[in-house]
């Protein structure tokens, strides 16, 4: 079942051999198969993702609201997919929520720092988890980096346009970021 939802660059690259299935840029972030990764840390990886979603969800959702949280999660997942497309061979298939989770961490960092909070412990957590992604086979560091970058950008958009009179600017900038991610993917598909 997870094979039908996994993401690899080949699903958006218009090769002519494999059908273009852009929904996989999102679906991969909602599934995980503990037996598909050849690492004994697979179950821990799933547990970390779910625990992180719980922790950052409890912090972020009350701060930014349900809909902004959803937008942040989805855009971070798409950012992870774009990074996978750009930084891996087209056949490197991935599943899991890590890209979106890293986006939540980056947005938390940006938002809490902008509000004057200390995020040094979060920086250590991100560095350790990025290192794990580079060192442990079967974990997509590319999705981590893509989610991190997009999550930080969404956090900046949310913080710089948080006044009620800037609501449409926030929607426009967020939609613009989504359009940019899709444009990068489309350009990559035809280059």
1 by Cβ neighbours in 10 Å (0-12 / 13-18 / 19+) ranks as exposed
Distance, CA of 107 to CA of 59 (rounded, Å): 11
pLDDT per residue over 13-48, tens digit each?
A: 877 788 889 999 999 999 876 555 455 566 777 888
**27 counts as catalytic:** no
Residue ranges of the chain with per-residue pLDDT less than 70: 1-2, 33-42
Structural domains of the chain, with CATH: 2-190 (1.20.1540.10)
SS3 94: strand
Q: What percent of the chain has pLDDT over 70?
A: 94
pLDDT per residue over 61-71, tens digit each?
A: 999 999 999 99
Q: Which of 52, 76, 98, 140 is catalytic?
A: 98
**98 counts as catalytic:** yes
Tokens of 82: 């774009």
Q: Are 154 and 72 in contact (CB under 8 A)?
A: yes
């Amino acid at each position: 079942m997870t094979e039908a939802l996994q993401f690899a660059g080949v699903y958006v690259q218009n090769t002519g051999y494999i059908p273009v299935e852009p929904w996989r840029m999102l679906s991969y972030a909602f599934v995980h198969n503990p037996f598909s990764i050849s690492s004994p840390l697979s179950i821990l990886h799933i547990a970390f993702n779910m625990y992180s979603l719980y922790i950052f969800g409890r912090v972020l959702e009350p701060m930014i609201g349900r809909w902004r949280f959803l937008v942040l999660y989805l855009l971070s997942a798409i950012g992870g997919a774009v990074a996978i497309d750009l930084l891996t061979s087209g056949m490197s298939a991935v599943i899991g929520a890590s890209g979106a989770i890293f986006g939540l961490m980056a947005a938390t960092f940006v938002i809490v720092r902008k509000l004057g909070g200390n995020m040094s412990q979060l920086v250590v957590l991100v560095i350790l988890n990025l290192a794990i992604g580079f060192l442990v086979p079967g974990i997509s560091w590319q999705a981590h980096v893509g989610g991190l970058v997009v999550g930080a950008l969404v956090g900046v958009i949310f913080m710089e346009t948080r006044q009620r009179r800037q609501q449409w600017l926030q929607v426009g900038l967020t939609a613009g970021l989504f359009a940019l991610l899709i444009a990068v993917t489309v350009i990559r598909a035809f280059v």
